[in-house]
């Protein structure tokens, strides 16, 4: 979650989680964690009383931050396109 972006766009509620890019629900094949994260996010959506509500979910990525690959090794196609246009 990027708080400044949330303010600009006006997201009505945010269930924030500190997980690597493209893996907000957890590791692949970790169904138990994925379901728990989904339920927690839905609970935030249900309980939020006002626009701008932000709640940090209590999940911790299982690897230490210094060992976690936060971004994919190859940029997504949209990021590659943006980078090409910037250099361009």
54 forms beta bridges with 14
HSE-CB of 86 using CA atoms within 13 angstroms: 6
pTM comes to 0.70
1, 54 Cβ separation under 8 angstroms: yes
- Chain mean position to CA 42: 14
Q: Span 26-37, mean pLDDT?
A: 94
pLDDT-derived band at 11 (thresholds 50, 70, 90) equals: confident
Question: Tens digit of pLDDT for each residue in 43-81?
Answer: 999 999 888 888 999 999 998 888 888 777 787 888 889
Cβ atoms of 13 and 44 closer than 8 Å: yes
């Amino acid at each position: 979650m990027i708080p400044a972006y949330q303010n600009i766009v006006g997201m009505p509620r945010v269930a924030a989680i500190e997980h690597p890019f493209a893996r907000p629900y957890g590791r692949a094949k970790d169904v138990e964690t994925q379901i728990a994260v989904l339920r927690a996010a839905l609970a935030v959506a249900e309980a939020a009383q006002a626009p701008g509500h932000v709640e940090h979910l209590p999940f911790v990525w299982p690897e230490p931050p210094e060992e976690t690959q936060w971004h994919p090794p190859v940029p997504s196609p949209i990021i590659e396109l943006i980078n090409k246009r910037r250099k361009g």
